[in-house]
Amino acid sequence: MTIDSPPKPTISPYKHHVLLCTGQRCGEEGAGQALYDSLWTKLKAAGIHEGPERTKFNSVNCFGACKGGPVMCVQPQGIWYYNVTPANLDLIIAEHLVGDQAVQELVFHQSPEASDSAQRGSAG
Ligand code: FES
């Protein structure tokens, strides 16, 4: 018997996946959306917009962590940032997405695996 299924989705290679909250409850109205709208230009300027080093990005309506935003999660490390202002986003891009070092002063939560990695001396 053959199971009729739709075509399997595909995703181009990437190094990091940024999930940015564009909801209204974790930051000033429109702040998350403005950041999201700037992401492509910023990632392109940093040279991480294509190829295996690229940063994939998507918006999220709410993470259920509605304080001190905009809030952003970087996968696959599971590192969660708060207070992602335009200047702090530039810092996260330079230090984490390009330099593979989490910006600890902006981190409010990490997956257990990220914590283990940080204790071994590498947060990225
Ligand atoms: S609205 Fe951003 S985390 Fe809830």
Is 50 contained in some domain?
A: yes
What's the total number of domains in the chain?
1
Is 8 contained in some domain?
A: no
Is 111 contained in some domain?
A: yes
Is 41 contained in some domain?
A: yes
**What average pLDDT does this structure show over 30-53?**
96
Confidence at residue 122, expressed as pLDDT on a 0 to 100 scale: 45
Structure tokens at 20: 């940015």
Is 59 contained in some domain?
A: yes
Structure tokens at 13: 């290679």
- Does the beta carbon of 72 lie inside 6 Å of ligand 1? no
Q: What are phi and psi of 109, to 5 degrees?
A: -160, 145
The pTM of the full predicted model, rounded to 2 decimals, is: 0.88
Using one digit for the tens of pLDDT, what is the confidence trace for 59-113? Answer: 999 999 999 999 999 999 999 999 999 999 999 999 999 999 999 999 999 988 7
| Domain limits for position 76 | 16-119
Rounded CA separation 48/13 (Å): 12
Q: Supply the CATH number for residue 54's domain.
A: 3.40.30.10
Is 3 contained in some domain?
A: no
Task: Please choose from 19, 26, 58 the residue to mutate so as to test ligand 1's pocket, defined by most ligand atoms within 8 A of CB.
Answer: 26
The atom of ligand 1 lying closest to the CA of 25 is 1
Is 26 contained in some domain?
A: yes
